[in-house]
Homo-oligomer: A and B are copies of this chain.
Amino acid sequence: MFLIDCGEGTQVSLRRMHIHFQRIKHIFISHLHGDHFYGLIGLISSMHLLGRTKPLHVYGPPELIQIIDLQLQASLTNLLYTLDFHPTQAERAEILFEDETMIISSFPMLHRIPTTGFIFMEKPYERRIRKEMIGQLQIPVHLLPQIKSGADFVADDGTVYPNHMLTSESPSPRSYAFCSDTAYFEDIIPIIKGADLLYHETTFMNNRGVNASEKFHSTTGQAATIAVKAEVKKLIIGHYSARYDDLQPLLDEAKAVFADTELGIDGATFEI
């Protein structure tokens, strides 16, 4: 389970949504503006107070570990678990995490302070075995890993059964890109290309493009343009300025450019 950014009160929100936060193993912090990390120290402390022993991995700007350590020291807290900190940089894209099933990378955003986006990419699935063929051809079990990886099967009588007869297409690997906070920044397009789901901040509506540029934030139109140019499948917008009580106009503006857009709101869940 992964958590991206951790504003003040995140642990309260997690409880309210009945998400057991000890299951979170990796936390990614995009940048050190308070609305993105002021809840981290509280979550780290609560994990400790509730008896966590499993390691926690935190990824974020280098100063973050100083901020955490200073607060743990001030309270004379020795965490019961290992907090494994992985400093990020906002100069170039890099892989932060990799296991058998997925790769998570960071990449630079265009903001007032060093900020990274994150992209979660599944690795390609192995092809699916057609079970009925295995039985029919009496293929030995020890050959199955090779066949899943694309090998043909040669029967005892020398007959070659090509792989496409033995296996079927597996689902496409899925990907999720998180882009907050950032001004309009086309450099991210090749990195997030074709993502199944893109979260992109939309702090302002289109008529506040100057505000957006000055504050290194994006408008609805800019976020949707990134979605179009990166050919993503779906866009979630969010990080709205407090000036907007009604979010429908922001959604309308984004949809005018990229139809498959949804509002990111507290507690919303999106299946990929």
Contact residues of A with B, CB < 8 Å? 8-9, 11-12, 32-34, 38-39, 41-42, 45, 61, 63-64, 66-67, 70-71, 73-76, 112-113
Contact = CB atoms under 8 A, between A and B. Distances in A.
Contact of A9 (B12, B61, B67): B12
Contacts of A9: 8-9, 12
B74 A32 contact: yes
B45 A74 contact: no
19 contacts: A8-B8, A8-B12, A8-B38, A8-B39, A9-B12, A32-B71, A34-B45, A34-B75, A38-B38, A38-B41, A63-B70, A63-B73, A63-B74, A64-B74, A66-B70, A67-B70, A67-B74, A75-B113, A76-B112
> Copies of this chain, how many?
2
B34 A38 contact: no
Contacts of A63: 70, 73-74
Which 3 A-B residue pairs are closest in the complex by CB-CB distance? A32-B74, A8-B42, A63-B74
Nearest to A32: B74
A42 B9 CA distance: 10
Nearest to A38: B42
Contacts of A66: 70
A75 B32 contact: yes
A71 B76 contact: no
Contacts of A33: 75
Nearest to A76: B113
A41 B34 contact: yes
